[in-house]
Copies of this chain bind each other. A is one copy, B any other.
Amino acid sequence: MNSDFTLAVHSLTLLSLLPDRMSTSDAIAESACVHPVRIRKVLGLLKKQGFIQSREGTGGGFVFTKEPSEVSLWDLYQLTANGTIQPKCPKSNHECIVGSNMKHVLTSIFEDGEEYLGSFLNQYTIQDIVKQVKQES
């Protein structure tokens, strides 16, 4: 899985800790050690989904507009990592009964598998992450 998911969780966790003010992409990027442009891209997805709001210009940035308990890891997975557990299926030989069907068979199984994983990830919310992060420090 690429790190967009992690950046989404990281960003929302940070924003949860600073609910009363705008946080800039530069500040979030510094905490996550990535380039601010990546943060802006990932947060763009979260904004479309209504999880956060942004404001341009001086004093602008991002704020969390939902309760941390309302956003689950499954929500964020679907936004940023949907389909990543699918095993890569190299195009295979259509002359062969196995080659010609393997991709479809595995894709279908892993679609169901991803839904199944979803019911696990749905148990965890940003609130839980905030709690755990605080506990560990």
| Interface residues of A, Cβ cutoff 8 Å to B | 1-3, 5-6, 9-10, 13-14, 17, 30-34, 73, 81, 84-93, 96-102, 104-106, 109, 112-113, 116-117, 120-121, 124, 129, 132-134, 136-137
B92 close to A10 (CB less than 8 A): yes
CB-defined contacts of A96 to chain B, threshold 8 Å: 14, 30-31
How far, in angstroms, from A89 to B7 measured CA to CA in the complex?
A: 8
How far, in angstroms, from A101 to B10 measured CA to CA in the complex?
A: 10
Q: A74 → chain B, closest Cβ, in Å?
A: 10
A89 close to B6 (CB less than 8 A): yes
B10 close to A109 (CB less than 8 A): no
Q: Given A32-B90, A105-B133, is A117 in contact with B6 using a C-beta cutoff of 8 Å? A: no
B33 close to A102 (CB less than 8 A): no
Which of B99, B105, B116, B121 is A32 in contact with, Cβ under 8 Å?
B99
Listed by A's residue number, 5 A-B pairs whose Cβ atoms lie within 8 Å are A6-B89, A31-B93, A32-B90, A105-B133, A116-B116
CB-defined contacts of A137 to chain B, threshold 8 Å: 97, 100-101
Q: Given A104-B136, A120-B116, is A3 in contact with B89 using a C-beta cutoff of 8 Å? A: yes
Q: A41 → chain B, closest Cβ, in Å?
A: 14
Which of B3, B113, B132 is A121 in contact with, Cβ under 8 Å?
B113
